[in-house]
Amino acid sequence: MAEFNHEIIKNVGLLSESSKGWKKEFNLISWNEKDPKYDIREWSPDGSKMGKGVTLSKEEVVALKALLADFDVE
């Protein structure tokens, strides 16, 4: 498996926390020293492990924000 690194540039916010301490966070992250992207994923309590997530460009976050503004949670 190829090695990669990451740097959390900004923690935008905590979305949830499991009973085992894993935290689902919304962050601005630089992957492999590239331009930062917005990212939603779970992190272990000590931050050493991560779950699968989704990475979004700034334009995708703007589009998601617009979609959510008109979205009614059932």
Q: For residue 1, count other CB atoms closer than 10 A to its CB.
A: 3
Amino acid letter for position 71:
F
Strand order through the sheet with 23-31: 6-17, 23-31, 37-43, 50-56
Interval 35-66: pLDDT, tens: 999 999 999 999 999 999 999 999 999 999 99
Q: Which domains does the chain have, with CATH numbers?
A: 6-69 (2.30.31.70)
Interval 4-37: pLDDT, tens: 899 999 999 999 999 999 999 999 999 999 999 9
Overall residue count recorded for the chain in this entry: 74
Q: Is the pTM of this model over 0.85?
A: yes
